[in-house]
Amino acid sequence: MKLLITGINGFVARHFLDFVSKQNQEFEILGIGRSINSFNNNHFQNLNINYKSIDLLNKDDVSEMISKFRPDFLLHLASVSSVGYSWKHPQESFVNNTNIFLNLIDRIRIENIKCRILSIGSSEEYGIVHKNDLPIIEECKLNPVSPYAVARVSQEMISQIYTKGYNMDIVMTRSFNHFGPGQNEVFVISSFAKQLVEISLKKKQNRKVIVGDIDIIRDFVDVRDVVKAYYTLLTKGRKGEIYNISSGIGISLSEILYKMCEILQIEINIDINKELIRPSDNPVIIGNSDKMKNELNWIPEISIEKSLTDMLEWWKTNL
Amino acid sequence: MKLLITGINGFVARHFLDFVSKQNQEFEILGIGRSINSFNNNHFQNLNINYKSIDLLNKDDVSEMISKFRPDFLLHLASVSSVGYSWKHPQESFVNNTNIFLNLIDRIRIENIKCRILSIGSSEEYGIVHKNDLPIIEECKLNPVSPYAVARVSQEMISQIYTKGYNMDIVMTRSFNHFGPGQNEVFVISSFAKQLVEISLKKKQNRKVIVGDIDIIRDFVDVRDVVKAYYTLLTKGRKGEIYNISSGIGISLSEILYKMCEILQIEINIDINKELIRPSDNPVIIGNSDKMKNELNWIPEISIEKSLTDMLEWWKTNL
């Protein structure tokens, strides 16, 4: 079976490959990244994987690649997925989410390739949710309040049109915040973890941790649980369906900070940087993933303490 | 006041310029079209209007034009607005609606230009609507069921983000089907009108009129009423608001065919072409435009009989 993975150099892809390498299913994998020769497949020597550098905004290059490889599965992880970044670069965020996806699936449509596609969406699509609607189920009205969220809703609407109108085989997720070892420090918990490790290793003169709004409550899922969900959806999800991927547990960023300080046994000073606070944001996001559980038997298995410990360990060896 | 109009060669733009030429307000107009030298401004000699050929997908060209002209008003009419075409060319339809709009407004954001923007949306955004929700009000849930509709919803979501997140001055419409003299025959009523005029002038051997699904019920507004609404919204609409532009009257395509046959006093044979029937479509769309009426005193004034008569007359002189 041929598996195409976009965003192969990213955080989620690395964990997905880890997961796939432990499965019995044999895949011929083509990984797509933006930068030339940046893929390191030393870690995945038991996988049959090729790497190709393509700008997914280049429609001609995408078309050629799809026509040649003809995937049975497409895991589309490529994304500019930071909400904060999307406020600074709204257009770049939009095209590098919505348009790259459209370039891929439209070629699959034109070539009439039988391909199971996983379209990754985000809990950000729900936007500001009334507390009575928590934890959020898939039927909840979408109310995107950031450029990133708008791009994800657009992608999802496109997926539905291609499924219903062209009978394509697309499954969609609304993935809640994920985190785990190896995550880029532009994402909040990884940024905290890096700063805290620096403090604990006395690489910082002061004990200042720069933060944005730490009162917001989010539903964090360990990336290793997320990739298990993606694999399950690729192989067993129902066509045309949308699935929340969430832990069901809401936790504030301040509590996460506190937990990490406990693990490292350090004290810190919090420094709020207003630049990191977004024009409009959701105070509380908690997801309900009963659909994943009931239909596909997926539940998140890694505790938040283990996730945070692993993230801190990762930063200790990767500072 | 500087007014930028995209899609200047289009059907709606021509009628808008007709309307503006009769107003007391002086505008310096820059009209943007795709083709070189295709703009005929003989009809608008009392308007101060320049024409520029730009592909609005070319971000650099758009940026340069915006930075140079610095509009006070933007009427964004450029669009690939056929639902049928969007099913055949979903990607082209998407980028030539959503991305061209994004190219324009993102440059206005970056340059911090104080500009009132009219973002044109469509009744197609509502998708399949339950009969209890007819006539449709602006609060009705969106359920886009065509690539074109998805592009319009995306554009509207982007408008809302730019209004709320960046404090830009955007007003949005959901325009119901419009028609009137000069409309391209890719649109259904104009296609009927052309075929009927051909029959009445005996330019066709048979009396066959090729149609798609003529049972669907739509809310048709004369383009001359539409452009009056656009002018009203540009000058007086409330920032960040969405306005239906509709007649409030539902009429089936078969009834329109019948009315035109009556006007021409001809008999026809109907030939259903399955190619013209869309993968998924809305059986009934009727809009409620009380918001336009109550807030802005706009009501449609041209009867359907006058619209159809004028369209048939137009085809008689433009076959």
Under a CB-based contact definition with an 8 Å cutoff, are residues B101 and B154 in contact?
A: no
Instruction: State yes or no: pLDDT of B220 exceeds 90.
Output: yes
**3-class SS letters over chain B:** CEEEEECCCCHHHHHHHHHHHCCCCCCEEEEEECCCCCCCCHHHCCCEEEEEECCCCCHHHHHHHHHHHCCCEEEECCCCCCHHHHHHCHHHHHHHHHHHHHHHHHHHHHHCCCCEEEECCEHHHHCCCCHHHCCECCCCCCCCCCHHHHHHHHHHHHHHHHHHHHCCEEEEEEECCEECCCCCCCCHHHHHHHHHHHHHCCCCCCCEEEECCCCCEECCEEHHHHHHHHHHHHHHCCCCCEEEECCCCCEEHHHHHHHHHHHHCCCCEEEECHHHCCCCCCCECCECCHHHHHHHCCCCCCCHHHHHHHHHHHHHHHC
| Domain residue ranges in chain A | 2-178+222-245, 181-218+250-283+302-318
B280 in contact with A at a CB cutoff of 8 Å? yes
Superfamily covering domain A2-178+222-245: NAD(P)-binding Rossmann-like Domain (3.40.50.720)
Looking at per-residue pLDDT, the higher value among A271 and B300 belongs to: B300
Residue B83, both tokens: 């639902």
8 Å CB contact of B109 and A90: yes
Task: Report which DSSP code applies to A97.
Answer: I
* Cα–Cα separations (whole angstroms), residue A8 to A16, A69, A79, A101, A177: 9, 16, 11, 15, 19
Q: Determine the 3-state secondary structure of A214 from DSSP.
A: coil
Q: For residue B315, how far is the Cα from the chain centroid?
A: 20
- Determine how many CB atoms are found less than 10 A away from the CB of residue B122: 26
Q: What are phi and psi of B164, to 5 degrees?
A: -80, -40
The pTM score is 0.92
Mean pLDDT of chain B: 93
8 Å CB contact of B161 and A153: no
- Segment B10-37, tens digit of pLDDT: 999 999 999 999 998 889 999 999 887 6
Best residue in B86, B154, B170 for a mutation probing chain A (most A CBs within 10 Å) = B154
Which residues, 6 or more positions from B75, have their beta carbon under 8 angstroms from its beta carbon?
B3, B4, B5, B6, B13, B16, B118, B230, B234
* Cα–Cα separations (whole angstroms), residue A78 to A119, A121, A173, B290: 10, 12, 14, 44
Which stretch of DSSP H or E encloses residue A45?
A: none
8 Å CB contact of A153 and B150: no
Q: Tell me, what's the ipTM?
A: 0.90
Distance between CA B290 and CA B288 in Å, rounded? 6
Residue B261's Cβ-count burial label (10 Å; 0-12, 13-18, 19+) is middle
Beta carbon pairs, A and B, within 8 Å: 81
Q: What's the gap in Å between the CA of A189 and the closest CA on chain B?
A: 24
CATH of B2-180+221-248+287-301, one of 3.40.50.620, 3.40.1550.10, 3.30.450.20, 3.40.50.720: 3.40.50.720
pLDDT of residue B278: 67
Q: Report chain B residues whose CB lies below 8 A from the CB of A161.
A: 90, 144-147, 150
Window 174-233 of B, Cβ < 8 Å to A: none
Q: What's the gap in Å between the CA of A201 and the closest CA on chain B?
A: 39
pLDDT of residue B82: 85
Instruction: State yes or no: pLDDT of A76 exceeds 90.
Output: yes
Q: What's the gap in Å between the CA of B146 and the closest CA on chain A?
A: 6
pLDDT of residue B25: 84
B252 in contact with A at a CB cutoff of 8 Å? no
Instruction: State yes or no: pLDDT of B265 exceeds 80.
Output: yes
Cross-chain CB nearest to A164 (options B59, B158, B280): B280
CA-angle at A206, arms to A212 and A196, nearest 5°? 55
Superfamily covering domain A181-218+250-283+302-318: UDP-galactose 4-epimerase, domain 1 (3.90.25.10)
Q: What's the gap in Å between the CA of A143 and the closest CA on chain B?
A: 9
Window 106-125 of A, Cβ < 8 Å to B: 106, 109
Q: Report chain A residues whose CB lies below 8 A from the CB of B240.
A: none
Q: For residue B268, how far is the Cα from the chain centroid?
A: 29
Residue of chain A with shortest Cα separation from B157: A150
Q: What are phi and psi of B2, to 5 degrees?
A: -100, 125
> Which residues, in sequence order, are bridge partners of residue B287?
B136
pLDDT of residue B280: 61
Measured over the CA atoms of residue B183, residue B189, residue B195 and residue B198, the dihedral's sign is negative
- Segment A37-73, tens digit of pLDDT: 666 766 777 899 999 999 999 999 999 999 999 999 9
Which residues, 6 or more positions from B129, have their beta carbon under 8 angstroms from its beta carbon?
B136, B140, B143, B282, B284, B285
What is the mean pLDDT of the segment spanning B275-289? 80
Domain B188-216+250-285+307-318 has CATH 2.40.50.140: no
pLDDT of residue B206: 84
Looking at per-residue pLDDT, the higher value among A245 and B129 belongs to: A245
What is the mean pLDDT of the segment spanning B248-270? 95
Cross-chain CB nearest to A150 (options B59, B150, B157): B157
Q: What's the gap in Å between the CA of B282 and the closest CA on chain A?
A: 13
Q: What's the gap in Å between the CA of A173 and the closest CA on chain B?
A: 18
Instruction: State yes or no: pLDDT of A120 exceeds 80.
Output: yes
**pLDDT-above-90 percentage for chain B:** 80
Which residues, 6 or more positions from A187, have their beta carbon under 8 angstroms from its beta carbon?
A82, A179
pLDDT of residue B81: 85
Strands B178-179 and A269-272 turn out to be unpaired
Q: Report chain B residues whose CB lies below 8 A from the CB of A153.
A: 154, 157
Helices (H) and strands (E) in chain A, counts: 11, 13
Measured over the CA atoms of residue B82, residue B87, residue B88 and residue B93, the dihedral's sign is positive
Instruction: State yes or no: pLDDT of B142 exceeds 80.
Output: yes
pLDDT of residue B24: 83
8 Å CB contact of B150 and A154: yes
Q: Determine the 3-state secondary structure of A173 from DSSP.
A: strand
8 Å CB contact of A150 and B154: yes
Q: Report chain B residues whose CB lies below 8 A from the CB of A165.
A: 87, 90, 145-147, 279-280
- Determine how many CB atoms are found less than 10 A away from the CB of residue A220: 23
Window 54-93 of B, Cβ < 8 Å to A: 59, 87, 90-91
Instruction: State yes or no: pLDDT of B58 exceeds 70.
Output: yes
**pLDDT-above-90 percentage for chain A:** 80
Q: Is B240 left (phi over 0), alpha (psi -120 to 50) or beta?
A: left
8 Å CB contact of B165 and A103: no
Residue A315, both tokens: 């930063």
Q: What are phi and psi of B301, to 5 degrees?
A: -115, -15
Cross-chain CB nearest to A99 (options B99, B146, B158): B99
- Segment A243-297, tens digit of pLDDT: 999 999 999 999 999 999 999 999 999 988 887 776 666 788 899 999 999 999 9
What is the mean pLDDT of the segment spanning A106-132? 95
